[in-house]
Structures are given as C-alpha cells and as structure tokens.
Amino acid sequence: MKKIILTGDRPTGKLHIGHYVGSLRRRVELQNAGDYDAMYVMIADAQALTDNADHPEKVRQNIIQVALDYLSCGLDPNKITIFIQSLVPQLTELSFYYMNLVTVSRLQRNPTVKSEIQMRDFEASIPVGFFTYPISQAADITAFHATAVPAGEDQKPMLEQTNEIVRKFNATYGETLTEAQILLPENQACLRLPGTDGKAKMSKSLGNCIYLSDSPEEVRQKVMNMFTDPTHLKVSDPGHIEGNTVFTYLDAFCKDEHFAQFCPDYQNLDEMKAHYQRGGLGDVKVKKFLNQVIQSELEPIRRRRAKYEADIPFVLDVLKAGSEKAAKVAQQTLDEVRAAMKLNYFDTDEFAKEQLALFSKS
C-alpha cells in the first residue's frame, strides 16, 4: 500500500509554536526523510468558515500567512503539495455522501467538538457546518487515500471518526476508501502545548500564543510574562515543575546543546529541573534561558519568512498549482466513490443497458 500523508491548518490566524511542535516540525522531518509516496498539506479555509461565517475577510487574509508559515518552516513545494481546501470542491461532495454514514449522537459524543463548542460559547446556536466538521475532515483525509496524518492530540477523535466512516463505507459499498493513522508527537509536552497563560491549549482562538512570525522582542516579552508556579514566590522556595508552563515549553524545545550554548551551569534539563525543585533557582533565569532556546529555533524560520515575503507571486503560484493538482487527485477518489455508490450513471454503458433491459421486458 502507498504511504500518503495529509495534514492541514485552519487559516484563522498565523501559526504558533503549538502548531510547530504538534505537527509542523514532524511534517518537515517526514518530508525530508522522503519515506512516503505523496504528502498533501491543506489550508482549511472552508473548515475555518464553519465558525467564522461572518468573517470571510479574516480567512482570506490568513491564507497567505499560513502559506508563509509553511514555507518558512521548511515545507518544500518541490517535494509536497500545498493546497487550499475550497479550491477542491470534490471534498464537499464526498462530505455530503459521508453524512449519511454518521449519526447525530455520534457527532455529539466527539470530545474535541464538545470542548470547542463550549470554548466558543455556541451552546444552543451551533452552526450545522461546525457541528459536522469531523465529517468534512474525513473527506479531506480519504480524498487523498491518506494513510498517515501528523497532528496534535486534539485530532485523535477526528481520525477515529474518519476510520469509522471508512469502515462503514467499505462495508456498505465495497472496498474503496483507505484507513489512516494519526502520527502524534513522540514528546509528551508536544501533544497539546499549553498557552502562555497556562491554559490547556495554545490556540489562535484563545489569544495565548507565541507566533512563529513574532519578532524577537515580542517573543521575549511573552516568555518573560509567562505563567509559572504560583507557589514559587522567593528564589529560595522549592518550585513545582508539573503544570509549570515554562518547563513544559522547555520539555518541548530544549536540547542538551542549548545548555552548553546558553546556560552552562547545567548539563541538561533534568539538572535544571532538580535545582528548581530544591529551591534556589529563580523564574527569571529559567525564562531567560527559555527565551534563548525559542529564539534559536525561530531564527532560521524568520530568515526564510523574510525571503518568501519578498516573493509573494511565488507563494501564490505554489498555492494555485498545488490546488489544481489536489483537485485532480480528489476527483479520482470521487469517481471511485461514485462508482461504488452506483452513481456513475453515464461513465460506462452499464446503466443504459440495465434500463433498456428493464423497459424492453415490459
């Protein structure tokens, strides 16, 4: 079986370091390892509209921002296909057929959708499009026969839903669609990076993000204002690591080399953590170190971003060509799906023969 990767992001804002550790970094590694047959990266504008119907301008403006974030992180359009979801209308048709295979109560049980509904205060006025977006994600994934989806932990229920649809479809209409596996980050801290405010998830919608495109000064300020251990008042107090966002970020970003480079008092993160827990290590010193670690990770990303910002026509070409290619691939799957569902009336002469036979008898 071919190894095919699909992932994406909603153009609801610029991408942040949660996206980076949760999915983007892995995508670049997978791309460069070359151990796959095809890789598709989607800017999910149609999905972004499911909770931004009144803000089409926001979605439109962020298309290019997300594309710039991709290219600056090292995604390479010569190796992979980057496309815009709404330019692949085949995905909408697939969603429409898949809707028949999912119950309302199954969607209501989806824990990610549940918490997102709460977060957005939708309660009684959930847009149907938003409620059903797990089905549209199933269309995105299956349209490319994806076998792997590198994503953060919040996407797990979406992959479960997708695979249920695949199994139901194949059982009903014959073997057509392919099941996919989520590729979660191996590092626990990256599964769901918390926000700078200590909230459960860094998220564009919560405004608690460090963006990949933030200036060095913006990053420094955000790091220095970060949530730590509220019981660690004096430097000499013993501090807590659990739930301490600064240490979670260090878990996500820091390598032993960073200590040699920026903080030679310690050999590695375990030593620094032990000192903090004993007492005698102040938050400011840890934050200054974290700032240097994040800056060193963001530096090459910033440099590439500046290069692509100076060549927007290139970025637009990447999106246009990628979307055309993605539409061709999705059309093939749609043809297979329509054939399996017996909707391919005029693709062969079978339907005409059946009808003729039926009516000639009478």
DSSP state letter for 195: P
322 binds ligand ATP (CB under 6 A): no
Which residue shows structure tokens 């796959």?
36
Closer residue to ligand ATP, CB minimum distance, 73 or 263: 73
Question: Of residues 192, 222, 273, 287, which one binds ligand ATP by CB under 6 A?
Answer: 192
CB of 59 to ligand ATP, least distance (A): 10
Cβ distance to ligand ATP smaller for residue 19 or 258:
19
Taking the C-alpha atoms of residue 131 and residue 146, their distance in angstroms, rounded to an integer, is 23
d(CA 167, CA 178): 9
We find the least distance from the C-beta atom of residue 18 to ligand ATP, in angstroms, to be 3
Q: Would you count residue 12 as binding ligand ATP (CB under 6 A)?
A: yes
Cα–Cα distance measured from residue 118 to residue 121, given in angstroms and rounded to the nearest whole number? 5
Q: Return the range that interacts with ligand ATP (CB under 6 A); candidates 14-22, 135-143, 160-168, 171-179.
A: 14-22
Selected binder of ligand ATP within 9, 45, 140, 214 (CB under 6 A): 9
Kindly report the number of other CB atoms within 10 A of residue 327's CB atom: 17
Residue 147 and residue 178 in contact, taking contact as beta carbons nearer than 8 Å: yes
Q: How far is the CB of 186 from ligand ATP (least distance, A)?
A: 13
Query: What is each CA distance from 289 to 195, 266, 270, 353, in whole angstroms?
Result: 18, 11, 14, 74
Cα 294 from Cα 254, distance rounded (Å): 8
State which of positions 203-262 bind ligand ATP (CB under 6 A).
203-205
The rounded Cα 303 to chain-centroid distance in angstroms is 23
* C-beta closer to ligand ATP: residue 145 or 204: 204
The continuous run of DSSP H or E covering 324 comes out as: helix 312-340
Contact 133, 43 (CB under 8 A): no
Query: Least distance to ligand ATP from the beta carbon of 306, Å?
Result: 24
Write down the least CB distance from residue 246 to ligand ATP, Å: 16
List 50, 132, 155, 244, residue binding ligand ATP (CB under 6 A): 155
Neighbouring CB atoms inside 10 A of 342's CB total 10
Q: How far apart are CA 327 and CA 279, in angstroms?
A: 58
Select the residue interacting with ligand ATP from 84, 113, 135, 193 (CB under 6 A).
193
The residue sitting closest to ligand ATP, measured at its beta carbon, is 22
Nearest to 280 by CA among 234, 312, 245: 234
- What is the pattern of x (binds ligand ATP, CB under 6 A) and - over residues 102-121? --------------------
C-alpha radius of gyration, the chain, whole number: 24
The residue (of 9 and 45) whose beta carbon lies closer to ligand ATP is: 9
Nearer to ligand ATP, 244 or 281 (CB): 244
- Cα 49 to Cα 64: distance, rounded to the nearest angstrom: 16
| Other Cβ atoms within 10 Å of 170 Cβ, number | 15
CB of 220 to ligand ATP, least distance (A): 20
Q: How far is the CB of 12 from ligand ATP (least distance, A)?
A: 4
Binding flag, residue 287, ligand ATP (CB under 6 A):
no
Q: Does 77 bind ligand ATP (CB under 6 A)?
A: no
Binding to ligand ATP (CB under 6 A): which residues in 18-37?
Answer: 18-19, 22-23
Q: Which of 172-175's residues contact partners 24+ apart within 8 Å by CB, and which partners?
A: 172/101, 173/337, 173/340, 173/341, 174/340
For residues 132 and 239, which CB has a smaller minimum distance to ligand ATP in the complex?
Answer: 132
Question: Does residue 152 belong to the site contacting ligand ATP (CB under 6 A)?
Answer: yes
CB 93 within 8 A of CB 142: no
| Residues contributing to the site for ligand ATP (CB under 6 A) | 9-10, 12, 18-19, 22-23, 151-152, 154-155, 192-193, 201-205
